[in-house]
Structure 1
Amino acid sequence: MSFRLGLIINPYAGLGGSVALKGSDGADVAAQALALGAEPRAEKRTRTALEALQGLDVCIKTWAGPMGAFLAHELGFATEVLGAPASDPSTAKDTLAAARQLKTAGVDLILFAGGDGTARNICEAVEDSIPVLGVPAGVKIHSGVYALTPQAAGELLTLLVKGELVSLANEEVRDLDENAYREGRVSARFFGEMCVPAEHQYIQHVKNASNREEEVLVLDEIAAGFVEQMDPDIYYLMGSGSTVAAIMEELGLENSLLGVDVIHDGELIASDCTAAELLALTEGKPTRIVITLIGGQGHIIGRGNQQLSAELLRRVGRENLYVVATRTKLNALEGRPLIVDSGDPELDVELSGLMPVNTGYRDAVLYRVGR
């Protein structure tokens, strides 16, 4: 009997990331992102997951057009279209309608592509009544119902289709207030739980917040060590997160907590840049990218910093990635690797392996970067 896979794609998920809009919730934001040159990426990332299933006995039940049918037909899967979005572009109401229809259609699992907003919609429709798996395609992904990468989603689905024993567990769905996020405030809420395949080498953990009171001295040491070795000729791209913010505070510069800023010769020359702006600013210039990891998840590329495009990362080179994190954050990973999810699978492989992580004043550890 064929594996019955439900499929829902939020076509405009993650549009705001590369153009520094911090999300894509709402038609106005999506239209603004498209006007700024953002390219939809949800279908491409879903394609990566589904390609792992080609040649296997899979029947896809989905919604019409870019919500799933276009891709399922293109990849040659037996496909049943259960409905169509009421508008173009599709909205949260369409996601809810599709998820409710798939719930009653008897699928074995719902695969969906989007971010935390999409996960909220799916959770509202199905709760924990049916297994789900998210393909990460949004800007902000705090929920524990997503695979680490699209490749990981494909590998996990392959296990399920082949009848391997895969445990199930309920994981949290969380979402940020995007308006607060754009103002530099992180305000996440718990919305419910959904049932997901519980193979932790494939599934990301819910994002953890570090205890700043306990780690403030360590952050000061990390910042002091970085500032001491800065080269006035290098353009520094300062990524998002509180650890990088500590460096900006040490320099006495304003910081886009959830964006990417550019420093040259001790001066802030650009704030909250888009992917295109970063490419233009660093063309032909020596550049270093300063990044940290998402607590509890381990992502250093591809979560909240989509402005760091694959083109930029290739140009800058692995040797010019400067990773900062406290040992507490690293220990919280319990041995799981740091994750790169650039949208370019070949680049992700090139960036994998042991990488120095700066954990204090003139103190660094080698830590594994996975895919």
Structure 2
Amino acid sequence: MSSTFRLGVIINPLAGLGGSVALKGSDGVAAEAMARGAEPKAHLRLAQALEVILPYRDKVELITASGAMGEEVALQLGFNHQVAYHSAVETEARDTQDAVRAIQASGVDLLLFAGGDGTARDIFAVVDETLPVLGVPAGVKIHSGVYGITPHASGMVIKLLLDGELVSLMTGDVMDIDEVAFRQGTVKARRFGEMLVPAEPRYIQAVKMGGKEVDELVLSDIAAHVIEQMEDELFIMGSGSTVAAVMQELGLANTLLGVDLIAHRQLVGSDLTASELLELTQDRQCKLVITLIGGQGHILGRGNQQLSSRLIRAVGKENIIILATKTKLKALEGRPLIVDSGDPELDAELCGYYKVVTGYRDYVMYQVANPDLVSR
């Protein structure tokens, strides 16, 4: 690395426009968002990140794009900068990708960008896989693991680099949701690939590398994973806040302390009784989504007695999906998850190791046991 840190900077000026006006994103609806009174804020978010390194201005050169894509913020904060790409007044995805190409060609040590998951996708499509990138969260959807937890956190990562700290690199998932489908009530999350990001768990949103979890982000990742699996089967949604996060991501009403039923990502039954569940799922392929009671570890038999032994047998052990954050699992200090269905034979049958969903395509193998085995 040269004595001057060459920082690539790109802003998606349209990022986040749809959020404040209830458009659930900005992809393809920027004009409508502006008509509804939305104001661009991505440049403010990028400025918050760069303000952290203002004391290092003599050590940094920004390589950026013209106007609202970065140049204006560089001028505002007084950074030495070079414009590597001249954009149109009204930018689009192609401008982001062309700017990345030009900035890469100029030679940078890190690419900093402000946007959402759509911006991350655009950058992933063209960025050199060896170039570290870091996102400043400015969009409506921030599921990708390539962002700082906040704009200030993104700036802190760059400060560590400028201070000469040893900052490792890891890969972060690039994810996005189909906004058109989302506005029609369907959530389709998809993983597009990985980009190289600084491995600083204090500041980076990524949750798959053992860093400190941020509940909202982890629950969003877990929800995206479950929703991606939803095909033709019925999904029995158990009680608890982790399952509720899936319902929230789907935009469906949820019975926090009850059991709901979903078909084709639509609600077909709320707060159902044991007999109603049996009737509605009879002779149907089903999956059961449950979580644990924090601190106790019960997944069956506490707060979800509507899930009768007859229903669980009909669903089958292989169709039980257990959700939990790693923080909740660690709090058990190695104790197993507990099944207490009221049917000792069923409890014994359900024992074993399960893949517990702890994030988007992220699992932990964890033991499930019945009360008798736990007490021995």
Residue in 2 that maps onto 1:108: 109
Which one-letter code corresponds to 2:53 in the other structure?
L
Picking from 231, 234, 239, the partner of 1:218 is 239
Cα distance in 1 for residues equivalent to 2:136 and 2:163: 20
Distance 1:13 1:75 in 2: 21
Which of these two proteins has the greater Rg computed from alpha carbons?
2
1:328 maps to amino acid: A
Q: Identity over the aligned pairs, expressed in percent?
A: 49
How many residues get paired? 246
Check 1:67–1:23 CA distance in 2 against 1; reply closer, same or farther (3 A cut). Answer: same
Paired letter, 1:216:
M
Alignment of 1:1-371 (within 5 A): 1-26=3-28, 29-56=29-56, 57-85=59-87, 87-205=88-206, 207-209=221-223, 216-219=237-240, 240-241=248-249, 245-247=253-255, 328-329=324-325, 331=327
- 1-side partners of 2:16 and 2:329: how far apart? 25
On the 8 A contact 2:239/2:257 being kept in 1, the answer is no
Post-superposition CA distance 1:45-69 (Å, at most 9, x none): 1110000010201110000000000
Counterpart-to-counterpart distance in 1, 2:80 and 2:329: 39
Is the 1:148–1:203 Cα contact (8 Å) retained in structure 2?
yes
Gaps of 5+ in 2: 208-220, 228-233, 266-290, 292-321, 332-376
The code of the aligned residue for 1:246 comes to N
Opposite residue 17 of structure 2, the aligned amino acid is L
Q: Deviations over 1:236-291 (max 9, x none)?
A: xxx944698314997x9xxxx9xxxxxxxxxxxxxxxxxxxxxxxxxxxxxxxxxx
Q: What is the identity, as a one-letter code, of the residue corresponding to 1:218?
A: S
Shift of 1:170: 1.2
**8 A Cα contact 1:219 1:246, kept in partner:** no
Residue-by-residue CA offset, 1:155-202 (whole Å, 9 max, x unaligned): 111001221100101111111111011122211222221100011121
Contact 2:242/2:324, CA 8 A, preserved across alignment = no
Check the 8 A contact 1:127/1:193 in 2, yes or no: no
Q: Quick one: distance in 1 between partners of 2:40 and 2:54?
A: 23
User: Whose relative contact order is higher, 1 or 2, with alpha carbons under 8 Å and at least 6 apart?
Assistant: 1
Does the CA contact (< 8 Å) of 2:243 and 2:323 recur in 1? Answer: no
Q: Which residue identity is paired with 1:49?
A: A
Give distance in 1, aligned partners of 2:184 and 2:11: 28
Q: Verify the 8 A CA contact 1:128 1:170 in the aligned structure 2.
A: no
User: Structure 1 residues 132 and 199, CA, compared in 2 at 3 Å: closer, same or farther?
Assistant: same
AA paired with 2:30? A
CA contact (8 A) 1:60 1:77 kept: yes
> Cα–Cα, structure 1 residues 158 and 82, in superposed 2: closer, same or farther, change >3 Å?
same
CA distance in 1, matches of 2:123, 2:174: 10
Instruction: Tell me how far apart the structure 2 counterparts of residues 168 and 81 of structure 1 sit (CA, whole Å).
Output: 27
Residue 330 (structure 1) shift? 7.1
Aligned to 2:268: none
Opposite residue 208 of structure 1, the aligned amino acid is: I
User: Shift of the alpha carbon at 1:98?
Assistant: 0.6
Q: What runs of 5+ residues in structure 1 fail to find an aligned partner?
A: 224-238, 258-294, 296-325, 336-371
Q: Please tell me the residue identity of whatever aligns with 1:48.
A: Q
Residue 218 of structure 1 aligns to a residue whose secondary structure is coil
Q: Aligned to 2:55, what secondary structure does the other structure show? A: coil
- Judged with a 3 Å threshold, the aligned counterparts in structure 2 of structure 1 residues 247 and 218 are, in CA distance, closer, same or farther, namely closer
- How far apart, CA to CA, are the structure 2 residues paired with 1:165 and 1:83? 31
Distance 1:77-1:221 versus aligned 2 partners, 3 A rule: closer
The answer on whether the counterparts of 1:147 and 1:203 sit within 8 Å (CA) in structure 2 is yes
Quick one: distance in 2 between partners of 1:221 and 1:186?
17
Cα distance change on mapping 1:65 and 1:158 into 2, 3 Å: same
Distance 2:169 2:206 in 1: 14
CA contact (8 A) 2:239 2:256 kept: no
Report how far residue 12 of structure 1 moved.
1.1
Q: CA deviation at 1:88?
A: 2.2
Cα shift readout 1:58-115 (whole Å, capped 9, x = no counterpart): 1100000000000011101001111211x32211111001101111111000000001
User: Is the 8 Å Cα contact of residues 186 and 250 (structure 2) preserved in structure 1?
Assistant: no
Q: SS at 1:246's partner residue?
A: coil
Inter-partner Cα distance in structure 2 for 1:101 and 1:221: 43
SS of alignment partner, residue 205 of structure 1? coil
8 A Cα contact 1:145 1:196, kept in partner? yes
What SS does structure 2 have at the residue aligned with 1:199?
coil
Equivalent position amino acid for 2:165 in 1 = E
Residue of structure 2 in register with 1:317 after alignment: none
